[in-house]
Amino acid sequence: MTKKTIKKTTILFAVILVFIVAAISALLYLSTLLKPLDINSTKSSRFVIPKGQAISIIGQRLQEEKLIKNAYAFRFVVAKEKLVNKIQAGSFDISASMSVSEIANYLTIGTEDVWITLLEGWRTEEIAEYLEAQDLDSFNKEEFITMAKPNEGMLYPDTYLIPREISSEQIYNLLLNTFDLKVVQGLSEEIAGSQRDFNQVLIMASLVEREAKTFEQMRRVAGILWNRIDLGMALQADATLQYVNGYDRVQKKWWAVPSSEDKKQKSPYNTYLNPGLPPKPISNPSLNAIKATLDSLESDDRFYIHANDGTMYYASTLEGHNANVNKYLR
């Protein structure tokens, strides 16, 4: 064997040796990352996975909440053990004493928690009916309505993860607390800077939620309704008639289209007969509806209509309004 050959062999051996050492070091490091963050931990943390959250985000959150050592190690285990499509949304009690593999597999087990979605613009009775249909162990529809109805408008519409055994009072408090967090605290500067009383804003937002769809429509409708109030005009909002009518047994739904006769009903919520706002909110508005009401669009408009295709048309005069009615509704 020549010196040149010996030199090449030595270099090749050195390269292989370095590769082996590096591979062993990497495996040892990975093995360390897969072990529990704190094997002696006796505490557990509530970890909630929303629907559709990516594996990478879940891993990052686990690391940030000090439940695992490394997010990439979690992704490695999930891929290696073919758990990518098995991770469940839900609420989990996780301890730092668990290994990454134990945590990953634990997250594939469905929980007893229930995801609920309360839609914007629902009234208390609709919320109660929906919750009753979720087969919650301790929920009572009538009890919930009795508690919640006085605070119509503050039952914050959102998606929640709740225990199946949650009580009517606990759900009620959850909705109120979320309203306080998202609206009272979240919009504190906007509320403080408004020239309107917040109770008026909330009532108006509950109408706007039912009368408009998009954020810009909400801003414009809110501006029109504020204009009518400032001018002493009746609001003439059909949503208030729908609130008075409640559940329509003929059309079998809430918020059924009102008739011309409904405009004659004697009710403080009938904004065709009574000027100003109704005494309380008629629905539980979205954050967007409240924002739109606080930052309504200034214009000279006094009227609006919904065309049959859903498009909204606006007018500043009765003549213009009648022209819109004749053109788009007849």
pLDDT tens for each residue of 187-226: 999 999 999 999 999 999 999 999 999 999 999 999 999 9
> Residue 119 has what pLDDT?
98
pLDDT, residue 186, reads 95
224 Cβ neighbours under 8 A, 6+ residues apart: 299, 301, 302, 303, 304, 314
Residue 51's pLDDT is what?
81
- What pLDDT, on the 0 to 100 scale, is given for residue 226? 97
Q: How far is CA 217 from CA 9, 83, 289, 299, 312, in A?
A: 78, 44, 10, 13, 8
Counting as low any pLDDT under 70, the low residues of the chain are 1-34
pTM of the model: 0.75
**Residue 164 confidence (pLDDT):** 86
Percent of the chain exceeding pLDDT 70 equals: 90
Q: Encoding tokens for residue 126?
A: 């609709």
| pLDDT value, residue 112 | 72
What the chain holds in terms of domains, given with CATH numbers, is 31-111 (3.30.1490.480), 113-185 (3.30.1490), 190-299 (no CATH)
Q: CA separation (Å) from 159 to 48, 116, 175, 202, 207?
A: 13, 6, 10, 21, 22
Reduced to 3 states (helix: H, G, I; strand: E, B; else coil), residue 49 is: strand
21/19 Cα distance (integer angstroms):
5
pLDDT tens profile 156-168: 999 998 988 899 9
How many Å apart are CA 186 and CA 195, to the nearest integer? 18
CB 96 within 8 A of CB 41: yes
Q: How far apart are CA 221 and CA 296, in angstroms?
A: 8
